[in-house]
Amino acid sequence: MSRTGSTGWLLQRASGLLLFALVIAHFVLTHFMGPEKRLYADVARRFADPLWKAFDLGLLTLALAHGWYGIWGIAQDYLKSGAARVLALVCCLTAALALFSLGAVTILTFRAV
């Protein structure tokens, strides 16, 4: 990452633009396409197509990166000491990686029963 944080700034804008389209598509598909489709069978039908798994994996990655980068940015507004900032960064990275693992395992190991 560049010293001034401009790379992070640019990635936050780019991921934000992508998320705007993807999150709204995700919300409309699960809530506003006829009767609610969120039971196990509905998920199984969608996940039978690897493209849907790729879509959800992409959404998971972008949302976690964008979200936790944002939280880290907020933390920097309030934390002045270097040690506290490093600690905040470690916490944000840990949370993002843990949630990514949980989500990725859920998507990739899904086998309909």
Partner 1 sequence: MRRYRYRWGEGLWAHFFHRVSGIALVAYLSMHIWVIHHLQKGPAAYDRLMETLSGPLFRVGEAFLLAAVLYHGLNGLRIAAMDAGIGMRAHRATYRVVFAVCAVVGIAGGIALVFFP
Residues near partner 1, by CB under 8 A: 13, 16-17, 19-20, 23-24, 27, 31-32, 35-36, 38-41, 43, 60, 63-64, 67-68, 70-71, 74, 95, 99, 102-103, 105-106, 109-110, 113
CB of 110 to partner 1, least distance (A): 6
Q: Which is nearer to partner 1, 24 or 93 (CB)?
A: 24
Q: DSSP secondary-structure letter at 48?
A: T
CB of 88 to partner 1, least distance (A): 14
112 contacts: CB under 8 Å, gap ≥ 6: 44, 47, 48
Please report, as a single letter, which amino acid is at residue 59: L
Scan for tokens 């849907």, then name that residue. 52
Contact 110, 52 (CB under 8 A): no
Q: Which is nearer to partner 1, 43 or 83 (CB)?
A: 43
